[in-house]
Structure 1
Amino acid sequence: MGSLELRNIRKSFGAQEVLKGIDLQVKDGEFVIFVGPSGCGKSTLLRSIAGLEDVTSGTVLINGEDVTVAPPAKRGIAMVFQTYALYPHLSVRDNMALGLKQAGTPTDEINTRVAAATEMLSLEPYLKRRPAELSGGQRQRVAIGRALVREPELFLFDEPLSNLDAALRVQTRVEIARLHRQLGATMIYVTHDQVEAMTLADRIVVLNGGVIEQIGSPMELYNRPANLFVAGFIGSPQMNFIEAARIGETGATIGIRPEHLSVSPTEGRFRGKVIHAEHLGADTNLYLETETAGLVTVRLFGEHRYAADDIVHATPDPAKIHRFDESGRAITA
Structure 2
Amino acid sequence: MGNLTLKSVAKSFGTVDVLKGIDLEVKDGEFVIFVGPSGCGKSTLLRTIAGLEDISSGEIVIDGREVSAVPPAKRGIAMVFQSYALYPHLTVKDNMGLGLKQAGTPKDEIETRVANASSLLSLEPYLQRRPAELSGGQRQRVAIGRAIVREPTLFLFDEPLSNLDAALRVQTRLEIARLHRRLKATMIYVTHDQVEAMTLADKIVVLNAGRIEQVGSPMELYNRPANLFVAGFIGSPQMNFIDAERLGESGYKTLGIRPEHLALSRESGTWSGKVVHVEHLGADTIVYIESDTIGLLTVRLFGEHAYAPDDVVFASPTGEMTHRFGVDGNVIR
TM class, shorter-length: over 0.9
Q: Distance in 1 between matches of 2:53 and 2:214?
A: 24
Matched position secondary structure for 2:9: strand
Q: Distance in 1 between matches of 2:50 and 2:130?
A: 27
Q: Distance in 1 between matches of 2:300 and 2:13?
A: 42
Matched position secondary structure for 1:90: coil
Deviation (angstroms), 1:143: 0.3
Q: Identify unmatched segments of 5+ residues in structure 1.
A: none
Deviation (angstroms), 1:318: 4.3
Alignment partner of 1:61 is 2:53? no
Equivalent residue number for residue 303 of structure 1 = 304
Equivalent residue number for residue 84 of structure 2 = 84
Deviation (angstroms), 1:284: 0.2
Alignment partner of 1:210 is 2:207? no
Matched position secondary structure for 1:143: helix
Deviation by residue 1:80-120 (Cα, 9 ceiling, x = unmatched)? 00101111111111000000000111111101100000011
Deviation by residue 1:268-294 (Cα, 9 ceiling, x = unmatched)? 111111110000000000000012110
Deviation by residue 1:164-218 (Cα, 9 ceiling, x = unmatched)? 1110000000000000000000000000110000000000000000000000000
TM-score normalised by L of structure 2: 0.99
Count of aligned positions: 332
Matched position secondary structure for 1:2: coil
Deviation (angstroms), 1:124: 1.1
Q: Distance in 2 between matches of 1:107 and 1:227?
A: 54
TM-score normalised by L of structure 1: 0.99
Deviation by residue 1:213-260 (Cα, 9 ceiling, x = unmatched)? 000000000000000000000000000001011013341000000000
Equivalent residue number for residue 173 of structure 1 = 173
Letter in 1 for 2:266: P
Equivalent residue number for residue 287 of structure 1 = 288
Equivalent residue number for residue 253 of structure 2 = 252
Matched position secondary structure for 1:112: helix
Equivalent residue number for residue 278 of structure 1 = 279
Q: Distance in 2 between matches of 1:35 and 1:273?
A: 35
Deviation (angstroms), 1:132: 1.1
Equivalent residue number for residue 152 of structure 2 = 152
Alignment partner of 1:313 is 2:307? no
Q: Identify unmatched segments of 5+ residues in structure 2.
A: none
Q: Distance in 1 between matches of 2:81 and 2:49?
A: 14
Aligned alpha-carbon RMSD (Å): 0.7
Q: Higher mean Cα deviation, 200-209 or 128-137?
A: 128-137
Equivalent residue number for residue 134 of structure 1 = 134
Deviation (angstroms), 1:304: 0.4
Percent identical among aligned pairs is: 75
Deviation (angstroms), 1:29: 0.2
